[in-house]
Structure 1
Amino acid sequence: MRVIRTGAAAALAVLAMTCAAGSVATAGTAGTGGSGAGAGTGETTVHTVDVGGLERSYRLYRPASLPEKAPLVVMMHGGLGSARQAERSYGWNAEADRRGFAVAYPDGYGRAWNVGDGCCGRPGRERVDDVAFIGRMVTEIRRELSVDPARVYATGISNGGMMAYRLACDSTVFAAIGPVAATRLGGCPAPKPLSVIHVHGLADRMVRFDGAPGTGIARIDGPPVRAVLAGWRATDRCGRPAVSRSGAVTAERARCRHGRAVELITIEGAGHQWPGGEVVRERADPPYPGLDATAVIWRFFAAHPER
């Protein structure tokens, strides 16, 4: 395994890429994310591992003061995004500084993830084993850091959020997942019960809330998000969701057996974006400013360790 250290003194790295599934890279400082949404005061290291004959890479952010038995959040970029872009765009480093957890940012093969049903890009066509890669990454991080195995979580946007669902379906590593602007593709016959928080803009045209075919290169045609969440409520043996509204934001929260929960947050008028994240490229859907999705997802994760 190769490790490269970056930090506050790292050179400015400029990325400009579009994301067919919604995430977009912007200029930022390697390691700390510069002064934008991803800013942090700790250190980022870049790692490579061989999985299935492919060299895979990930970034690992550690706050300056990381407690023993710390939680770990895996944050997965969207299609055509990158680990560096995800670190820069969504504010997880700053949240990790405040709350005391580590963050891993894996790089998708060909800037995409194999999430099922042939999606997406090269990983989908070539059947790349991204579940094995993420599992290996978590194992390597646990060798390096004191990570609480009961507090390992996965989140992501768009294709990365779909990957969070794939991990929930095909692995037993995670206590909870937090997909944003995503749906579940591929089979999921017998998942391990775990907590789920899902965030979605109701005006999302790329990954549509109602399950209709989306726009963009990938043309995502997944099940309706409500059907996906209903499946998880059945798996987790949940009660009826309680509904609350605040302006454009609606939260549907279901309490489940063994302290688990399934929560759906929808935003009227919001498109394909990470609420509270960075402003992205011209013509991309703007982040909804009235919700900090990173803080909301972290609070949910913190309340739902493995039971």
Structure 2
Amino acid sequence: MLGRIRAGLKAAFLGTAVVNAACAQATRETLLRPDGLRRYLLARSGRPTSGKRPLVIVVHGAGASAEQVMGKAFPPSPLSVWLEIAEREDIVVIAPDAGAGGWNDCFASAQKVAKKDDVAFIASLIDKAVADYDVDASRVYLIGVSRGGLLTYRAAVEIPHKLAAFSTVLACMPPPHAAQMPTAALPALIMGCTADPLMPYRGGKFFHVLGFLDPVSSIEDSARIWRELAGLPDEPSVLEIPHRNQWDKTRVTRTMWGEAGSGLQVGLYKIENGGHAEPSSSKRYPYFVNKLTGRQNADFEVAEAAWEFFREKRAAAWRQPRS
């Protein structure tokens, strides 16, 4: 009985972070940029490799850090499962740190970007990984959560020639009038929750976020922008994700446009009744966090779903390099 009480209190105040497999070791690294010394975490398998490896760049949300998103700081992050994937699949994972002032994402003014260009930082990390970490330049993937997802959208618009695919979690595209829209097609995987109190699934802006967030497009319009740019027909495959737990009041539907896993696809995970929390069965936010941000789905691992989407994709003929 006492053990159950302790476990319940721990889950309520600390959350849970179950590790299901060996993890790649992460080291703290720095990169000198025009705006100063930038920090990032680098994770890769310790075993020798015979060829070039894929690269996944994981972009944390507002108020978080590279350490938090990689499971090195509170609260437990579902995206830290990338450390398990890195060891199992022999991939390189980089988690950049926003530093002071947070990310200059797709809503940032030109003046702010001129002082600290975070997309240029990501581009430099890709170049360094290709040069120094045995990364395959045709297998570079980007995933961002919340405000990190807004930066991911900006990167997908500005440096599509450096990416094979991208994914955003709990993040909506900006409206067409508010930011530059994409002109080059990319495979895109978008995950959104219908009861998100910060990023409205149907677009717009909640009154309670005041000046902290700008109005956004809906999650489904965000997916539509990339689907139409890719020229994919509006005839998706739809999969209901199996439900695992009776106590979980959320449900998940995956919609996928494009049939070939190695080709140009656009995917949408719609989490009914989910809040501003990345889905995970192994990394569970504390009870008090979920009371503020809404329900956290436990039917799938967000990092595993993204890797399934990324795995076979290569930089391909649909992508026209820019100078």
Which category describes the TM-score, using the shorter chain as reference length? 0.7 to 0.9
Which residue is 2:141 aligned to? 153
Which residue is 2:233 aligned to? 239
Cα distance per residue 1:264-301 (max 9 Å; x no partner): 01111111111116223423335311111111110100
Mark the CA change 1:38 to 1:113 in structure 2 (over 3 Å): closer, same or farther: farther
Shift of residue 44, structure 1, vs aligned partner: 1.7
Whether 2:303 is the aligned partner of 1:294: answer yes
Q: TM-score, normalised by structure 1?
A: 0.81
One-letter amino acid of the counterpart of residue 305, structure 2: V
Is the Cα contact below 8 Å between 2:27 and 2:42 reproduced in 1?
yes
Q: TM-score, normalised by structure 2?
A: 0.77
CA distance in 2, matches of 1:39, 1:167: 31
Structure 1 SS opposite 2:70 = helix
**Sequence identity of aligned pairs in percent?**
25
One-letter amino acid of the counterpart of residue 198, structure 1: I
Is the Cα contact below 8 Å between 2:193 and 2:276 reproduced in 1?
yes
Whether 2:161 is the aligned partner of 1:179: answer no
One-letter amino acid of the counterpart of residue 301, structure 1: F
Larger Rg: 2
CA distance in 2, matches of 1:116, 1:206: 16
One-letter amino acid of the counterpart of residue 103, structure 1: V
Aligned to 1:80, which of 42, 55, 63? 63
The runs of at least 4 aligned residues of structure 1 exceeding 4 Å deviation read: 35-40, 123-127
Cα distance per residue 1:61-117 (max 9 Å; x no partner): 011226321100000000010000000122110111122211000001326211122
Whether 2:123 is the aligned partner of 1:135: answer yes
> How big is the alpha-carbon RMSD for the aligned residues of Structure 1 and Structure 2?
2.6
Shift of residue 140, structure 1, vs aligned partner: 1.4
Which residue is 2:8 aligned to? none
Structure 2 gap segments, 5+ residues each = 1-13, 72-76, 244-250, 317-323
One-letter amino acid of the counterpart of residue 90, structure 2: G
Shift of residue 190, structure 1, vs aligned partner: 4.2
Which residue is 2:248 aligned to? none
One-letter amino acid of the counterpart of residue 140, structure 2: V
Whether 2:289 is the aligned partner of 1:283: answer yes
User: Where does 1:5-154 land on structure 2 (aligned, <5 Å)?
Assistant: 36=18, 40-65=22-47, 67=49, 68-88=51-71, 89=77, 90=79, 91-110=81-100, 112-118=102-108, 128-154=116-142
Structure 2 SS opposite 1:61 = strand
Shift of residue 55, structure 1, vs aligned partner: 1.6
CA distance in 1, matches of 2:15, 2:48: 27
Whether 2:247 is the aligned partner of 1:264: answer no
Structure 1 gap segments, 5+ residues each = 1-25, 29-34
Aligned to 1:251, which of 244, 249, 254? 254
CA distance in 2, matches of 1:189, 1:101: 30
Is the Cα contact below 8 Å between 1:42 and 1:63 reproduced in 2?
yes
One-letter amino acid of the counterpart of residue 157, structure 2: C
One-letter amino acid of the counterpart of residue 239, structure 1: P
Structure 2 SS opposite 1:149 = strand
Which protein has the bigger helix share? 2
One-letter amino acid of the counterpart of residue 187, structure 1: A
CA distance in 2, matches of 1:280, 1:39: 20
CA distance in 1, matches of 2:227, 2:265: 8
CA distance in 2, matches of 1:273, 1:39: 23
Cα distance per residue 1:21-80 (max 9 Å; x no partner): xxxxx799xxxxxx6459753322211122223221111001122632110000000001
